[in-house]
Each structure stands twice: as structure tokens, then as C-alpha cells.
Amino acid sequence: MATAVSAPVFTATVRVSNIPPSAVAKELLAFFDSAVAAAGEAYACEIAAARRGWLSRGDGSVQFDSTATATLAAELASSCRLPRFLGSLLSVSPASVDLLPRAPDLSLRVADARLLVGNRVAEREFEAADTWDSVRVEVIPGKRRIDLYLNHDSQRYRLEVYFEDIRNCLQCSFDGAGVILLQLMYAPRICTTISGPAVYSRFSDDRFHACKEDAKFTWVRALDFTRNHSFGKCSTLALVLDEGAPVSFILNSLPMSGELGELVISSMEFFGPSSKVVPLVDCPSGCSVSYEVLFRLNSLVHMGKIVSKDVNADLFKALEEIPVHISRRIFEKMSKLDFTCYEPLQFIQQEAHSRKRSHDGLLSSKTEGEGKLMMCYRIHITPSKIYCLGPEEEVSNYVVKHHKQYASDFARVTFVDEDWSKLFPDAISARTGRGFFSQPLKTGLYHRILSILKEGFSIGPKKYEFLAFSASQLRGSSVWMFASNDSLKAEDISRWMGNFEDIRSVSKCAARMGQLFSSSRQTLEILPRDVEEIPDIEVTTDGSKYIFSDGIGKISERLAKEMACRIGLDYTNPPSAFQIRYGGYKGVVAVDPDSFRNLSLRPSMKKFESKSRMFNITSTSKSQPCYMNREVISLLSTLGIRDEIFESMQQNDMRELDEMLTNREAALSVLGKIGSAETKTASKILLQGYEPSLEPYLLMILKAHHDS
């Protein structure tokens, strides 16, 4: 007897079981087409197999045009009104995901829309950079995104716009047609199709798959395909729908912001320099604003606070007359606006005038951090855009500190997805085939990243070139880049850092170069005569060599006190160990009171050759709570601690645990030993004088810790 789960269907797909082993997908698709013809059509079908080309497992999935059709199919099966399929009664239940990404209802699907990409340059004015007709729109609330399908130069593309990336969604009209205006925070994700005999497609020609549309291809990530990089330079999409299109249904599914009325649409005149990274604005010839001002202007354009069209010669001329520290504060205020400023020149002039009158600009902001911090330019590069951030405070490193007169020429560059999330490997190198010998496809994103690393990129007068990356940056897809000048070039810094030619592994070489970029505190230069190299402690057993001093050196007590003083610690009680970077050496040095040499390093600490003599400290030893366990007790026992002492400590702890529910001092003692964030509230209540047994909330917290 046919059965079905009575739960509502939230997708247009149902799970089907009890499928005859001899059935093929086309037959099952045609069966559901006729069985639910009154409500809609079946769109795609998949029958599960143990492996590709093997026998059917007797279950599969069918996707319909709408959730209503899928719900009807489930209801027909549950009420035994679904006809037999090849003599079998099918079991139908809702599916959690669709076979293919598609709008779950006909009212959320438009087959012939017009797409414009451009910028909103005024309240009701839109400048279009590119236009496409016959665009298919699929609104998928379950995935919280809009899919736009279009053809460009005989190639098929899909634009993915996520609801979270929409800054404003406005209902407009243009020449009698309905318009949906989408102002985006990030560029849409762009995908393209690839096909061929070597390309794996889920819906290929076999007995277990069937689809009413051509689905014999695979989607892979792609770059901005427009001639003028329109998706990178622009931040607004306009969907022009026919008069009969279900505009109201679509708007009800989107994060609606309001109605705008009649929209004026014009063509865009392209702006800015020709570059592989967009959008960027540059100073006009004869302009002399500082690089920080230019960088911050680009940042405002990238954040959508101003429109690049308004960054013109008049704006630069006004900025030339404003001191940099006042411009900095004005830009900081503009970055906090929750709307786009369509008259930036007027805004800047008014702010500059009011700040000069109030003498607010006399208090100049710091342009360079002190001690552990420095000011650093940060740049995010996505598949379509570039985002300038900062300058921001960041923990300093030895390389930038050593070249502090060129600190503004360093930049941290991060490669991220359109929404600044981590780039997944399949976006860069997509596996399009099946089998052991199939080769991954290098997508356009791979070649974009490689081109930027090899050739660099320019922002205004500075051209940034690859320098190095640290281990932590590698995990975050970041690198250090440097804008070479007549006095110092990126290769000069690489040569100064050390000799890496003997390191044959690419990953190890990059990690060694990044060693000097680790966040550290610079202390003083130690001359070679104060450094000795001591042998490692090695033992060979059964042909295996063990190094018991791997990465561990020694430091004299006198130098340890001086180092403690230089990093702001108590020199009378210096740390017992320092984690260091010294030239090509890396590791930990422990304080040796008997050492007459300032520094004693071992061969296992040496990673590469370097002439640098600066002693960098990344961290020091610190005291932390230690709990008795079997390992600690065994170690202490071998050092001569009597068992009676451990028994006494255990009895004291058990007594405090028994008294913590009635005695305030015992409760404070127990909570202090735990030392976790969860105990702070209870400790504050106890310090205010409350007794554990008189405060119900406090007693509940203490009981929870007592029972655990």
C-alpha cells in the first residue's frame, strides 16, 4: 500500500521509493507528468543507483514546477489515489532539497526579463553600464538568493545574488514597466557552464536521470565577463519586468526596502583607469593630494558611501585645501553613513568649514602606531572587485619596523569571495570529471590570483608587488605586498631578509620568509660575538635519532632581565623562557643563570641564513592554573614530594567543596581555582557580601559547579 509522510512540502521535490528495478528516469518523469497534470508538470527526475551505471536501489527524487504540485503528488500517494507505476505502488514523501536550484513556484519565476547593471547616481536616477534581454529570473527563498540566467557572447552565465548582500530593494517603474532595483553590498557571484565528453554532469544521458531542459553541463565559478568590468565597477542591478510579470509576488519574497516611483535610466560614461582590479578612482593630472586621501576616497567608493562619478577634479581640488588630519575625520564620518551621499563635495566642504570653526582639526589623529601597533593599509580582492580598507592599526612585525620610513608602502592583501568570506578550493580549481586520472579545471579565479601575485596591481601612483606571507596569513589567504620606489624595491627587502635559495620546497620557503613577518616585539640588536652555537642533545636508539633539544636554546640571566625591561615586564622577576625570532633562527630560549654568553642557539633552531641581528620576541612564559592529575602527581613524586602532601591537598579541596554551598569564603576559594568566565558573575555576587544559602540565583550557580 502506498504511504507518504504527511508533513508539508517546502520544496518542489519529493522522495519516491518502491520504484521497480527495471524503471528508467524518463518513464518515471512521464508518469508523474500525467498523474499530477492538473496542478503542473514534473521537471526533473533522478533514480538512485549503488554506483554510476549500476542497478537501481529502488528509490529516487522527482522535482516539479512548484511546491503545490509536489504537495499534490504526496497527497495522492498518501490517499492511495496515485496510479500504479509499472505495477508498483509508489511511496512519496517530501524532500529537503531540490534536485536542481530553481524557484519553488511559478510566481517566483520570470522567463523574459531585462537586466541592467549600473549605479544609482541620484535618488531616482540610474546609469546603466550594460544591458541584457531575455534574462531568466529565479527567486529561491529556501536558499535566500536570486539566480539570474543570461547569455553573453554565446556563453551561458548565472549570477547569484544572496538576500544578505542586498543593501536596498526598491520597487520602481520605467516606461510603464515594473522595475526591481537591487543595491548590492557585494558583486554577484558569477558562474558559467562547461560541457564536453570529459566533463561530468549530474544529468547526463543515462537511464537514471531525466530533465526537461538541457542539463548536460557543470557550473563553475567565473570572472566578470563584461568588456568594461561592469559588475566590478557598479553596485546596482535593475530588473525590468513586463507588465504581466508577478512583480508583487517577487517583492514579497525579497527583503523589501520601499517604493521609489518613476525611475530615470541613462547610459553610463565609463570612468577611472583601466586596471585588472576595479573599481578604482585616480587623481587627475596636476592634483597633489596625499596617498592616504586617495586611498580613503577609494574605500568610500568601495563601501557604497559615494558614487565614483562624483569623485571628480572639483572634489580633489577641494581636498587639496583641507589638511590631511581633517580630511581623515571627515572620511571617518562618511564611512559611518547608512546611506549613499550623492553630493560628496558639498558634504566635505560643510564638514571642513564646521571643523575649522570649532578647531576640531587641531587634534591630529595618530598616523603611526606606537610600540606593538602600526598603521597598515589593508586590501581585499574578490573575483570581481577590490576593496580598500584602512589604514588600520595592526600588530607590528620586524620587517615593517625596520623599513619604517616606507611603512605606508606595505599592504596586507587578502583574497576572498565576493562577500569577503573564505574562497573555497572548488572555486579556484574545480573538479569537473570523474575517475582517478581526471584533472581539475583551473577557473578564472585561479588565473586572476596568479596574475596579481606575479604582476602586482596599481592604486594611484603606487604599484604593489608580492613580498611574502606568514604562516597565519597563509591560513587566511593573505599576503604582504610592497609598493616599490626608487630607494627600495620588493626584491631588495627579500634579499635583506635572508638567503632562501637552499630551500627547495615552495611551501617551506614561503613559511621561512613569513617568519620575519610574525607579530613580534623588537628589542635590540645582538652582535655575533655575543652569540654562540651549541650542539643539540641527540640520542640514537635502534637506528632512530631523537633530538631532545629541538628548537630550544639558552639566554643569560642578565640579558633576560634587559629583555623583560624592554617589553614592559618586571626586570627583577623576568620570564623563564622567551619565544624568539633572531635572524634565521626560530624557537624558544630558556634562562640559564650560569651562562656567560648572552645567547646560545642550536642548529635545530636555524631555518635559513640571514644577516639580521635584531632580537624579536613573539611571546614569553606565563603562569597559569595547573590541576593535579595522574601525570603531574607522578612527576612530582619522582622529584621527592611525599604522598601525604597530595592526600592533604585532596582533603582540603573536598572540605571546601562541601562548605561552598554555605560558606562564602569557601565558595570564593573554589570559584577562584576554577578561573573560568562562567564564574565571574557568582564571584561578583559573593564579593558584594551575599551569603550562598540566602540568594537563590547564587545558590543555583554554586550547585551547578558543585555537581560538576
Q: What is the tens place of the pLDDT at every residue in 576-588?
A: 999 999 999 999 9
pLDDT attached to residue 326: 93
For helices 664-674 and 696-707, what crossing angle results, to 10°?
50
Q: Long-range contacts made by residues 99-102, C-beta under 8 angstroms, separation at least 24?
A: 99/13, 99/44, 99/45, 99/46, 99/61, 99/63, 100/43, 100/44, 100/63, 100/203, 100/211, 100/215, 101/138, 101/140, 101/143, 101/147, 102/12, 102/43, 102/63, 102/138, 102/140
Q: What is the tens place of the pLDDT at every residue in 351-362?
A: 999 987 776 544
| DSSP 8-state class, residue 617 | E
* Average pLDDT of every residue of the chain: 89
Architecture of domain 106-187+224-267: Roll (2.30)
Residue 642's pLDDT band (cuts 50, 70, 90) = very high
Q: What is the tens place of the pLDDT at every residue in 302-326?
A: 999 999 999 999 999 999 999 999 9
Residue 475's pLDDT band (cuts 50, 70, 90) = confident
Pairing of strands 577-582, 585-592: antiparallel
Sequence length of the chain is 708
Residue among 584, 551, 552, 578 at smallest CA distance from 563: 578
pLDDT attached to residue 52: 62
pLDDT at position 367 over 70: no
C-alpha cell at 250: 517577487
Q: State the amino acid at position 497 in one-letter form.
A: M
Q: Grid cell 532595483 — which residue?
A: 181
Higher-pLDDT residue of 335, 668: 335
Q: What is the tens place of the pLDDT at every residue in 215-241?
A: 889 999 999 999 999 999 999 999 999
**CATH topology identical between 13-94 and 106-187+224-267:** no
Residue 374: strand pairing partners: 394
Q: What is the C-alpha to C-alpha distance for residues 617 and 524, in angstroms, rounded to an integer?
A: 10
Higher-pLDDT residue of 367, 459: 459
Residue among 383, 12, 102 at smallest CA distance from 220: 383
For domain 13-94, the CATH superfamily is: RRM (RNA recognition motif) domain (3.30.70.330)
Q: What are the domain boundaries of the chain? A: 13-94, 106-187+224-267, 291-362, 373-517, 521-620, 630-707
What 3-state DSSP class applies to 94?
strand
pLDDT at position 363 over 50: no
Q: What is the tens place of the pLDDT at every residue in 164-215?
A: 999 999 999 999 899 999 999 999 999 999 988 888 888 877 889 999 998 8
C-alpha cell at 501: 635559495
Which of these ranges, 356-365, 519-528, 552-561, has the smallest mean pLDDT? Answer: 356-365
Q: What is the tens place of the pLDDT at every residue in 14-50?
A: 999 999 999 999 999 999 999 887 667 899 999 998 7
Q: What is the tens place of the pLDDT at every residue in 406-432?
A: 999 999 999 999 999 999 999 999 988
pLDDT attached to residue 36: 86
Instruction: Please check whether residue 586 is in contact with residue 498, taking contact to mean a CB–CB distance below 8 angstroms.
Output: no
Those residues with Cβ within 8 angstroms of residue 259's Cβ, 6 or more apart along the chain or in another chain: 170, 171, 172
% of the chain surpassing 70 pLDDT: 94
Quick check: pTM over 0.75?
yes
SS (H, E, C) 513-579: HHHHHCCCEEEEECCHHHEEECCCCEEEECCEEEECCCCEEEEEHHHHHHHHHHCCCCCCCCCCEEE
